[in-house]
Amino acid sequence: MRLTRLVPALASVLAATAAAAAGAGDAAPQATFLSPEQLATAGGESYTYQSDIARLMRVVVSHLYHDRDVFVRELLSNANDALEKVRLIALTDPSILEPAEQLNVTVLADKDSGRIVIRDSGVGMSKEQLAANLGTIARSGTSEFLENLEKGDGGNLIGQFGLGFYSSFLVADRVTVASKTADDTEQWVFESEANADGFKIVKDPRGPTLGRGTEITLYLKPDAADEYLDLPKLRYLIQKHAEYNAAPIYLWSSASLDPSVNAVPVVEAEDDEIKVEDEATAVEQPQWDLVNDRPPLWMRDSKDVTEEEYENFYMKTFDSPDAPLAWAHFKGDAGTTSFRALVYIPSALPNDFYSKDYISLNSLKLFVKRVFITSDLGPNYLERHMNWIKVFIDVDDLPLNVGRDSLQKTKALAQIKKNLQKRVYDLFAQIASQDPSKYAELYEKAGVALKVGAVEDAKNRDRIVKLLRFTTSAQENSTSLDEVVARRKQGQTQIYYIAGAGQKKDSLEKSPFVERILARGYEVLYFTDPIDEMVINSVPTYGGLRFQDVAKDGVKFGDEDDDEKKEEEDLKSTFAPLVGYLKKELAEFVDKVTISTRLTTSPCLVTAGTYGYSGNMERLLAAQNQGSDNFMLNFARMQKKNFELNPKHPLIERLLEKVDEAGDDEDALAELKESVSVLWQTALLKSSYQVPDPNSYFSLVESMLRKSLGVSQTAQAEVDVKPAPPVETGPPPSEPPPPPSFDEDFLAKDEALRHEQEEAEEAFEKASEHKWVDWSSVKEKIGEGIKDTVKAAVPDLDTDVPNAPVHEEL
């Protein structure tokens, strides 16, 4: 007989050795819970709660049940404050540290007793302080706080901050608070229950076990025990709310010892021999785990933080595989308080950033004295174009026991918002100035967001527009507007642009609108993003120059002389008959017919009025709403256009001659009308507009092709269409099952093969009970079965192979 047992003594030795090696700070906590019987026999004094306290405890339990997690933050925040007080006192009186030199917070979850113990080595409280601090509530903000809770508006409170110690009763039926100050020889215990009207304070029957500090024991409600005694959940809550606390926070947990390092001998007993083998067996060893192991970078001096530290902090905090493109680390004043901030610009812009707010993108974290408060300061705290930028704000002081709406209106947060925006824009400008190649990379990701900002953020528009970049005819790389202004020609008063959403630069360069402008050497901006035209509509001028859409009326060069003006007047006189004819023929669509000064090689083009819609804008309106009730699109298409003619183009010259030659000849007039219709609609398309009736336009083009190729207008294609069969009268056929795939077919045959093998083995076993059978025949039967199955599944496979040899012993 063989027995295998883990030797408990050896495991205990290992655990004790490891704890000793780790130091006194890792020693196992003593389970010295106070029982109700102990407190009852300890005597003490009973007190009645102040009226506001009793009222607060009632509404806390009834109104904030669904946000019970906040008790972790509230209690850890109190512990952190107590430790900060010790630190300050120790600067002038180091003796305060003697009772407990280690400044930390420990959290113990005891599943067996259903309790959580939070202990700190802070300043502690005397008997009188326990009664004053836990039995009464500060008057500042109390009324509004309680009114919000009783109205059911607890969800609007900033994380329900301000509950303090009383948040314990969200999860606990009974709470004890043991505390001791450095100069008091006695340790005192505060005890209360969730529905009690008062509390009790007794001398701790355990004696002064704390040295200095406070120990809060939560006797969890049954429905809270399973949730909050779960170590992963408890660790998550500590990290969420107190990850950046100044004091270290330890959680009592267990970790497996590495079996390769500490192998536990296993005793084996077999017959009369005792044998010890070094089998590697993992041992669960309890230990104190440091939970908040990431110091807040924003609390350090920026000069002392390395680039690698900034990047690692960002990637770990936001679980990002990529380092940020840039960051800003600064501090400032906000009214009566001060703050520190750390701003990160991610390496990529979320595809759906425009449809979300910063809250859903987890972009902002507000702390007060390193304690996390909220990620939600209202949907408009970070503008939509900045909602993807990651921001940490740590404020020295804020009124937190008020509603979220009230907090948003505080001067401090308003000032911080202004400061944040300015710092972000300054960061962009700094990169653009110092590292243009890096800014080009950044702008490729964030350019659309900045353009959204230029449209929506009127207060910061001037600052944002300086950061924008546009495709230009002047160079291969994009350009800033400052550079465009610097390259202006003498007498130039306009910045020329052409909009073509989704089009490339080489396509827009061939547009008839820019022919003469480019030929003369003027610079043109190419607006290839759908939002570009909206940006310019928000910023009509820049650097003293007015933006001019070359697809509209009003293009001026600023260097026209008298000779050019005289030539223009002469051309108008010469082409007056054609202009008059076109105005009459196209009166439904055209407001003006003019002799163009902007064309070189194209015969004509269609432009919008100064306040009309360009072809690009009409396309954008159509893309936004495909329905027939698109008022803006219908209004835009109803607006009459301008028809510009190139007087030096052969087609226009011949058209003038046709008008003179037609006279009253009906055939000539019909042909002229057809030519004008084709010319007008083709110009619409080339000018980025849609033709009113595409089918009618294509019929006109076909008619002209027939004339050009000598094809009769009445000749039609021979049509031989096979008619569909008659309507089916019977019921619809049932769908046949789909043919099995190769995998399904092969698995089915493989299953059949296994079944045959099992049958053969059973037959062999039965036969072997009586007498040996001819094994070769059994083997041959199995082999043939395998061949047949495999050949059926894979017909092309050569199965004519010899059977495997049988073991000689068989």
- Amino acid of residue 48: T
Task: With H, G, I as helix, E, B as strand and everything else as coil, classify residue 394.
Answer: strand
| Of 690, 673, 571, 695, nearest in space to 636 by CA | 690
Q: Is 502 annotated as a binding residue?
A: no
- How far is CA 606 from each of CA 352, 361, 393, rounded to the nearest angstrom? 36, 45, 54
Q: Is 597 annotated as a binding residue?
A: no
| Of 390, 222, 420, nearest in space to 316 by CA | 390
Q: Is 490 annotated as a binding residue?
A: no
- Exposure of 670 by Cβ count < 10 A (0-12 exposed, 13-18 middle, 19+ buried)? exposed
Task: Output b/e per residue, 690-715; b: 16+ Cβ within 10 A.
Answer: ebeeeeebeebeeeeeeeeeeeeeee
Spatial separation of the C-alpha atoms in residues 187 and 34, rounded to whole Å: 13
Which residue, chain included where needed, has tokens 């970049």?
469
Spatial separation of the C-alpha atoms in residues 777 and 773, rounded to whole Å: 8
Q: Is 141 annotated as a binding residue?
A: yes
> In sequence order, which ranges of 306-402 are alpha helices (DSSP H)?
307-317
User: What tokens were used for 484?
Assistant: 């465009």
Q: Quick one: which H or E segment has residue 220?
A: strand 213-220
How far from chain centre, in Å, is Cα 682? 46
Our CA angle for 91, 92, 95, nearest 5°, is 90
User: Residues with Cβ < 8 Å from 105, sequence gap 6 or more?
Assistant: 76, 79, 80, 83, 118, 119, 120, 245, 247, 248, 249, 250
Which residue, chain included where needed, has tokens 């001819």?
774
Q: Is 589 annotated as a binding residue?
A: no
Q: Is 404 annotated as a binding residue?
A: yes
Which residue, chain included where needed, has tokens 């040295």?
211
First-to-final CA distance of the chain: 32
Spatial separation of the C-alpha atoms in residues 373 and 240, rounded to whole Å: 10
DSSP per residue, 492-528: --EEEEEE-TT--HHHHTT-GGGHHHHHTT--EEEE-
| Of 520, 569, 519, 527, nearest in space to 548 by CA | 527
Our CA angle for 113, 162, 404, nearest 5°, is 125
Which residue, chain included where needed, has tokens 């950033």?
353
> In sequence order, which ranges of 663-798 are alpha helices (DSSP H)?
666-686, 694-709, 742-770, 775-793
Q: Alpha-carbon dihedral of residues 332, 334, 337, 339, nearest 10 degrees?
A: -40
Q: Is 475 annotated as a binding residue?
A: no
Spatial separation of the C-alpha atoms in residues 489 and 521, rounded to whole Å: 9
How far from chain centre, in Å, is Cα 580? 60
Q: Is 407 annotated as a binding residue?
A: no
User: Residues with Cβ < 8 Å from 363, sequence gap 6 or more?
Assistant: 375, 382, 387, 388, 389, 390, 391
Residue 577: what are its φ and ψ, rounded to 5°? -60, -45
User: What tokens were used for 632?
Assistant: 């803006």
Spatial separation of the C-alpha atoms in residues 451 and 454, rounded to whole Å: 5
Query: Side by side, which strands form the sheet with 364-368?
Result: 326-334, 337-345, 390-395, 364-368, 371-374
Q: Is 162 annotated as a binding residue?
A: yes
Spatial separation of the C-alpha atoms in residues 383 and 596, rounded to whole Å: 45
Q: Are 471 and 525 in contact (CB under 8 A)?
A: yes
DSSP per residue, 255-267: EE--TTTSPPPEE
Q: Is 754 annotated as a binding residue?
A: no
Spatial separation of the C-alpha atoms in residues 184 and 132, rounded to whole Å: 17
Q: Is 335 annotated as a binding residue?
A: no
Q: Is 37 annotated as a binding residue?
A: no
Q: Is 73 annotated as a binding residue?
A: no
Residue 292: what are its φ and ψ, rounded to 5°? -95, 75
Please give the annotated binding residues for ATP, written as ranges.
74, 78, 120, 125, 133, 140-141, 160-165, 214, 404
Annotated binding site: 74, 78, 120, 125, 133, 140-141, 160-165, 214, 404
